Amino acid sequence: MRILALETSCDETAAAIVEEGTHVLGSVIASSREVFARAGGVIPEEAARMQVTCIHPVLDQVFSQAGITEKDIDLLAVTRGPGLLGSLLVGTTTARMLASLWKKPLLGIHHTLGHLSSPWLSCTETPRFPLLTLSASGGHTELWYRTDHLHGEILGSTRDDAAGEAFDKGASLLGLPYPGGPSLARAAEQGDPHAFPFPLPLAGDSTLDFSFSGLKTALKYTLRDLGTDGAAPERKADLAASYQHALCRHLIQRITQALARCPDAQEVHLVGGVSANQHLRSLVQDVCDGRTLRTPLRLEFCTDNAAMIAAAAFFASREQQEKPGLPFTTAASLPSSAALSPA
């Protein structure tokens, strides 16, 4: 089965063609990152305007990469939410129009189900359920225990900021460019992760929830106390490394606790933009206790992309055994708990 998927939930315009949920024939991601780097963040109306102009060239490019035509497509899929409404509508309106023009079925996919499916892309072995997934991006942070693609539960989620948001806000406090995650990780390479002892959030809490806002405040007060010293390059590197380490320690502690509660988990998956973080990857490896650790095989599959939406659509249509083409709504806010349910 060949699926053409579109993903336009934030500032990217992405299209992909994926065969059997894993084999990526083409994947194109047009990002307006440079434009928003100057603004220091995404401007929703501007993002949607750019997506309107990008979507057709991106579609042309993905078909030429894959070397096929629309006649070879069996199913269309599109991110239906959550995300920026104007941006989502560019993707869903285009997908609805193409599905009707080409007389193909169309599936609306929850953005988080896309991230959860990303480790299957280009993967030659089949991951084994049950498995534990940390899904951490700019909009959400959750620990999932799943027994198959569409069955499972959220063990814990963030009470305030998302992990990616904590990277972004920390980078901004340190005067590092947008997007904050990669620039903070780069600055941290030269620093000492133990130079500043930031606290472990929710240390005595018995849930598997996350909280990142206290760390951001701790960084703010540390910078205030350092005064002009905080701006020196070596101090900045130490601050970035210590802050990154504190965010990762919190994530790792929750993964360790979740594995103790779910000892039958065969694998640990890291997905979402934050899974691109190398420091996090190396720390998670140490707590997997012999289990397979999987991250998306290409860095572009960690952050938002359309191939993960195609993978999710493939497994959803296979496991639901429903005729694709169910009506769906486009929704800016959708709870993560709805990720495994049909539209």
- What residues make contact with ligand KG4 under the rule CB under 6 A? 10, 137-139, 164-165, 167-168, 179-182, 185, 272-274, 276-277, 303-304
Interface pick for Zn ion out of 42, 304, 328, 340 (rule CB under 5 A): 304
**179 binds, options Zn ion, ligand KG4, none, Cβ within 5 to 8 A by partner type:** ligand KG4
Whole-number minimum distance, CB 95 to ligand KG4, in Å? 19
Q: Which is nearer to Zn ion, 137 or 222 (CB)?
A: 137
Q: Which is nearer to Zn ion, 79 or 242 (CB)?
A: 79
Q: Where are the alpha helices (DSSP H) in 262-306?
A: 278-287
Whole-number minimum distance, CB 162 to Zn ion, in Å? 10
Whole-number minimum distance, CB 142 to Zn ion, in Å? 12
**C-alpha dihedral (34, 39, 43, 48), degrees to nearest 10:** -30
Q: Detail the DSSP E strand segments found in the chain.
A: 2-7, 12-19, 23-31, 75-81, 106-110, 131-136, 141-148, 151-157, 267-271, 292-294
**168 binds, options Zn ion, ligand KG4, none, Cβ within 5 to 8 A by partner type:** ligand KG4
Q: Which is nearer to ligand KG4, 104 or 216 (CB)?
A: 216
b/e map of 30-45 (b: 16 or more CB within 10 Å)? bbbeeebeeeeebbee
Whole-number minimum distance, CB 141 to Zn ion, in Å? 11
User: Which tokens sit at 112?
Assistant: 């988080």
Under rule CB under 5 A, residue 161 binds Zn ion:
no
Angstrom distance (rounded) from CA 196 to CA 194:
6
Angstrom distance (rounded) from CA 150 to CA 140:
19
User: Which tokens sit at 322?
Assistant: 């429903």
Under rule CB under 5 A, residue 168 binds Zn ion:
no
Q: Which is nearer to ligand KG4, 98 or 168 (CB)?
A: 168
Whole-number minimum distance, CB 303 to ligand KG4, in Å? 3
Q: Which is nearer to ligand KG4, 130 or 177 (CB)?
A: 177
CB-based contact 153:127 (threshold 8 Å): no
Q: Which residues contact 320 (CB under 8 A, 6 or more apart)?
A: 150, 342
Q: Which is nearer to ligand KG4, 33 or 56 (CB)?
A: 33
Q: Which is nearer to ligand KG4, 106 or 280 (CB)?
A: 280
Whole-number minimum distance, CB 167 to ligand KG4, in Å? 4
- Helix 213-226 vs helix 233-261: angle between axes, to the nearest 10 degrees? 160
Radius of gyration over alpha carbons of the chain, in Å? 20
Residue 291 is which amino acid? R
Interface pick for Zn ion out of 137, 183, 242, 295 (rule CB under 5 A): 137
Element (H, E) at 127: none
Residues that bind Zn ion (CB under 5 A): 137, 304
